[in-house]
Structure 1
Amino acid sequence: MQTIVVVGGGYAGFYAAWHLERKLRRNEARVVVVDPRPYMTYQPFLPEVVAGSVEARHAAVSLRRHLRKSRVVSGSVVAIDHEHRTVTIRPADGAEFDLPYDIIVVTAGAVTRQLGIPGVAEQAIGMKHVEEAVAIRDRLLTAFDRASTLSPGPLRRKLLTVTFVGGGFSGVEGFGELLSLATALLRRYPELHRDELRFHLVEARDRILPEVTDKPGRWVVRQLERRGAEVHLNATLVSATGGHVVLSTGAEFDSDLIVWTVGNAANPMVRRHTDLPIDERGMLRVRADLRVGTEEAPVPDAWGGDDAAVPDLAAGRPGAATVPNAQHAVRQGKLLARNIVATLRGRAAKQYKHDSLGTVATLGLGSGIFQWHGLVIKGLPAWLMHRGYHVLAVPSWERKIRVLAVWLTAAAFGRDIVSLASVQEPRRAFVTSDR
């Protein structure tokens, strides 16, 4: 049998392997998925994990549970040598080893882009993985507990100040959901006052949410400001050393929680440690049928998607590439499986073309925005559309039912407001128990 190695178990990798399992005949090929995490993160649920509207485990789709016919290797691919058909894997324990393959599918995804700003690496939390979403939520809940025991002053003010850097899709959704949670928490903390809560959203451009047009984007800004947020446009973060935030506009304030959602960068493994062709941005060169290479020079037995330079045929512009979002990654993963099976059986591969289904974002409990071309829906209807779309989109009926159950429970009894920040240091209570 031929061996198909899938590099990365994110959206595109998971769906490629999942659909390969369904389409491959017995003994036609074996599938190996390599990823350091044992799950695929359903990232659209991360803002709701931050707010406690979705349980953390329900935003993580187990690779071993759902990829029952594939071999799952826990480790990171640190190099691809396509000339010799091997990938080098670094496991959590033990020495690196080489894994041979016949066909490779590169869906390594992007990494969080850092800009070398002082204090960011030490103070900020990203929002790309489940662990980060949980840490953001626990940090806010713990800050409320700590602030409630303090007299008004600089430390209490710092604990109740939250800063999101980046006004893109994930930043605005996370910001809106956390603002919704914090506002609701005030009812449980009579010691704290609404005017002590400070939420700052920092964006380098003159608008937020580039996925929607200008007018809906301005509506989102007004909606957040009506809820007490401060939106800093045309502003960049200069420093965050010790939690002291300095912006390019001259604004300065202390913030206990800083969330970094500035954007993505090309995966460094793809950029530096592969003999596959990459473009000037460090992204994998991919044809419209998701084969690696160009129309003139395709690379045999190599496929790619998700954060690759996939031509956007729906855009109608020469040189346009698909944006690295969930809509494209899921559909590219499914097409990867279909095209690989087709070529194994001597059939032609199909080109990837997908028109956007629109943009929908949550801005907190009961508030959202949806846009499809000129159609814009705001408020509660858009929020319901967001929930409806994503409960249908999350893979497997098991996950859909679990998420629905949590939403129904929260509707009846409210969100859980218990912080489990102590799980990040599980031995502390044991070590200090008899002191």
Structure 2
Amino acid sequence: MLTGPIEKPWLANKDKRLGLSNVLVYFIAFLGIAGGAVRCFFTWKSTERLGNLCLVMEDTFDTFDTANTWNHEVTMSGFGNQEFEMTTASSNNSFVQDGKLFLVPTLTSDVIGYDNVLGSPPFTFNLTGCTDANATNCGAVSNATAETVIPPVMSARINTLGHHAIKYGRVEISAKLPRGDWLWPALWMLPVDDAYGPWPRSGEIDIMEARGNGPEYPAQGVDYVRGSLNWGPFSWLNGVSKTFGWWTNRRKTFADGFHTYALEWNDRFLRIYVDSRLTYMLNLKFNEPFFQRGGFPTVVQNGTDFIQTPNPWSNGTKNVAPFDQRFYLIMNVAVGGTNGWFPDGAGGKPWLDGSLTATTDFAKKQSDWYATWPQNVDDRAMVVDSVKMWELC
């Protein structure tokens, strides 16, 4: 150990350059802190705000209110995506327990047997309590020879049509997503009235869509959630590719716990995010007409004729239409489909979108995909803790 006085020659011969370097370091650090504070302030100041909001609906699921809040959609229609599930009003597929709503996919074979799903021998199944106006979507016939099957999955889809809808406001849903290959949970909105024509002319707001496949799935699995807007003059000319985004959870998946999925929307902007405005999936300013935003071709083929591409929103609110109408909420767990949500060739997908036997091909691989579905209902269901809707006052 040192004893006696310690020499410190640097105190006697100070290097002015060293002092100057210290000053520069502190000055640059100060500039960085000040610049960050200024940027945060102006970003906060420029962030769009909704204004005064009035609560129009809140459900914490003490009960399942199917009289005044929720409607079941009971059908085998496939909902335009040629999904592989039928939706039911059965308590096997939707129920409230411990203050939470469960939307659960189950196997049709558990009800009618696997041979009957595949049609060996042919089997007819009629859906109890069907709500579809088209009677052909209320039943199906399986036939192994014709390669037609009964939809191999039963699930649930509920909505607030006729009870609660908003034009501009906020929606907030606390939910935990399901695990399992080819599950497709969604929280989304459709217009009460198709003011601008059939889908997608009148718009669609997707607050959250996801895939139940694991994080190893190459086309964004359950560690990703997506938000988007659908709009376009024709079903095959949809501008969704210009108005979508996603957020990913790098440490866990969105099936590991509850997250808040939110929409904020008025006539100036539309924002979709998960948990915080900082983690937004879509932050869109209404600063140009949607027909212009879409960059659609001037002329399109309609059957055998070529026509000028119509602008469905020419008489709507400038820059906002079709999202200037009242929209209602939908919550569902779909399975598969042929619209491209699950890309061909990714993750061992057991069907091709262009195949005429896509549902049959999926049903025949039941033992493979069902093995990825948790037996614990809490993990296989989309579990919703609360739903809130506000409208601008």
Query: Would you call these one fold, judging by a TM-score over 0.5?
Result: no
Normalised by the shorter chain, which TM-score bucket?
Answer: under 0.3
The structure in which a higher percent of residues are strand is: 2
TM-score (norm. length: structure 2): 0.25
Per the normalisation by structure 1, the TM-score is 0.23
Name the one with the larger helix percent. 1
Indicate the structure whose relative CO is greater, using CA pairs within 8 Å and at least 6 residues apart: 2
